[in-house]
Amino acid sequence: METSRSEAIVLGAMDYRESDRIVTLFTLQHGKVRGVAKGAKRSMRRFGGALEPFARLGVELVVREGLSSLRGADIVSLYPRIRADLLKIALAGYAVELADRFLPDGAPSPRLFRLLTAYLEHLEQGEAREGDRRFFEANFLNILGYRLALDRCAACGAELSAVAARRRGAAGTVLCGACGRGGAEVGPETVRLLDLCLGTGRFDAVAFSSAALHEAGELLDDAIAAHLTRPLNSLAFLRQIEADEP
Ligand SMILES: [Zn+2]
């Protein structure tokens, strides 16, 4: 069996048998991989503190269908500033759970890998901002082929740039005023900013007003929930932390 080296982000880890751990990794070269780290619980020598959620690693893997084998791991970053801040922990935990739940096994996605590492790097270096989370989500959905449809009414197909008002439909859709009667409004600024998120690769390039942030957030939350069969554990935690923030 051939050992390969890969860049990886830890999406999750759990104890397995007496002394092992099973780790879910998002690797640059192989996509999402689940692997067993033998002796990881008993011996700190080989893996140290590397197998923590959202740690960035260089790993040695024997990739197999089903369960791979994690032979070694070097820490690139544990993101210490994220780990010193409860809101950042919640945001990073949310980002890796999203990746874990949406990514199929064994399908590499370098763009998504770059987006996730850029978000973690951004959380590490800067403030924990709601707009950055929404930037991450809009691009995350787009890369996976679930781009928000902002151009046309999801019910009748009318061009939304030509209608007087846009309304929020079910499952993260946008409707024209006639089809979405009674629904919450989606203002032109929200649409413009979401488009801008998808048109730039930089986290700092988009500044949301609080109204646009709210509207974009509702759309993105609905769109994400529509693709999941059960709610994200990390989202409940994130909402609790956000509610406690001053
Ligand atoms: Zn319509």
Instruction: List, in sequence order, every residue forming a beta bridge with 77; answer none if it has no partner.
Output: 56
Whole-angstrom distance, CA of residue 37 vs CA of residue 19: 9
Distance 195 CA to ligand 1 centre (A): 20
Asked whether the predicted pLDDT for residue 120 surpasses 70, the reply is yes
Distance 211 CA to ligand 1 centre (A): 23
Domain co-membership, 139 together with 234: yes
Confidence at 39, pLDDT banded by 50, 70, 90: confident
Distance 224 CA to ligand 1 centre (A): 22
Distance 158 CA to ligand 1 centre (A): 6
**How much is the average pLDDT of 21-31?**
97
Distance 164 CA to ligand 1 centre (A): 11
Domain co-membership, 85 together with 49: no
Distance 173 CA to ligand 1 centre (A): 11
Domain co-membership, 71 together with 95: no
Domain co-membership, 130 together with 102: yes
Domain co-membership, 44 together with 99: no
pLDDT at 200: 84
Domain co-membership, 135 together with 191: yes
Distance 18 CA to ligand 1 centre (A): 58
Distance 200 CA to ligand 1 centre (A): 29
Say if CB 80 and CB 120 are below 8 A apart: no
Distance 180 CA to ligand 1 centre (A): 7
| Residue 132's CATH number | 1.20.1440.120
Domain co-membership, 54 together with 28: yes
Average confidence score pLDDT of the chain: 94
Domain co-membership, 111 together with 164: yes
Residue at a domain's end among 31, 54, 78: 78
pLDDT in tens, 207-235: 999 999 999 999 999 999 999 999 999 99
- Length of the chain counted residue by residue: 246
Q: Which domain holds residue 21?
A: 4-78
Asked whether the predicted pLDDT for residue 44 surpasses 80, the reply is no
Asked whether the predicted pLDDT for residue 80 surpasses 70, the reply is yes
Interacting residues of 218 by C-beta distance below 8 A, sequence separation 6+: 168, 184
Residue of 52, 30, 46, 17 whose CA lies nearest to 105: 30
Distance 49 CA to ligand 1 centre (A): 53
Distance 191 CA to ligand 1 centre (A): 16
**How much is the average pLDDT of 98-127?**
96
Confidence at 2, pLDDT banded by 50, 70, 90: confident
Whole-angstrom distance, CA of residue 92 vs CA of residue 195: 24
pLDDT in tens, 180-208: 999 999 999 999 999 999 998 788 889 99
Confidence at 42, pLDDT banded by 50, 70, 90: confident
How many domains are contained in the chain?
2
pLDDT at 180: 95
Residue at a domain's end among 30, 63, 78: 78
Domain co-membership, 94 together with 46: no
**How much is the average pLDDT of 32-42?**
90
Higher-confidence position of 246 and 197? 197
pLDDT in tens, 132-165: 999 999 999 999 999 999 999 999 999 998 888 8
Distance 140 CA to ligand 1 centre (A): 26
Render 4-72 in DSSP notation, one character per residue: EEEEEEEEEEEEETTTEEEEEEEETTTEEEEEEETTTTT-HHHHTT--STT-EEEEEEE--SSEEEEEE
Domain co-membership, 119 together with 195: yes
Distance 155 CA to ligand 1 centre (A): 5
Residue at a domain's end among 78, 106, 135: 78
Asked whether the predicted pLDDT for residue 43 surpasses 80, the reply is no
Say what percent of the chain tops pLDDT 90. Answer: 86
Distance 144 CA to ligand 1 centre (A): 26
pLDDT at 47: 85
Distance 141 CA to ligand 1 centre (A): 23
| Residue 46's CATH number | 2.40.50.140
Higher-confidence position of 164 and 177? 177
